[in-house]
């Protein structure tokens, strides 16, 4: 069994993944419950995420951040190799 992801668009379910299934293949759908924030994080994962965001903000405030232009430049350089 394969797991596919999709969203409702215009009242229809649109699969986001590439699907190579024969015409007429039967599929079963299961709705994923989402909280008010639109994600599926439990309390522990949310706490870790928020702690990481606070740490990152403090590092930027302390001058330890890297300018976005530098990050993009380094990513492009690595991509071209």
Which residue's structure tokens are 């990152």? 56
Q: Which helix (H) or strand (E) holds 50?
A: helix 43-61
* pLDDT for residue 35 is more than 70: no
Residues 6+ apart with CB under 8 A from 29: 13
N residues, the chain: 81
Q: Report the DSSP beta bridge partners of residue 6.
A: 15
Q: What is the pLDDT of residue 1?
A: 60
- pTM of the full predicted structure? 0.43
């Amino acid at each position: 069994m394969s797991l596919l992801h999709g969203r409702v668009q215009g009242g229809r379910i649109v699969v986001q993944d590439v699907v190579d299934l024969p015409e007429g293949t039967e599929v079963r759908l299961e709705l994923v419950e989402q909280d008010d924030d639109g994600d599926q994080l439990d309390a522990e994962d949310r706490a870790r995420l928020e702690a990481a965001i606070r740490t990152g903000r403090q590092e930027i405030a302390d001058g330890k951040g890297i300018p976005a232009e530098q990050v993009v430049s380094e990513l492009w350089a690595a991509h071209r190799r």
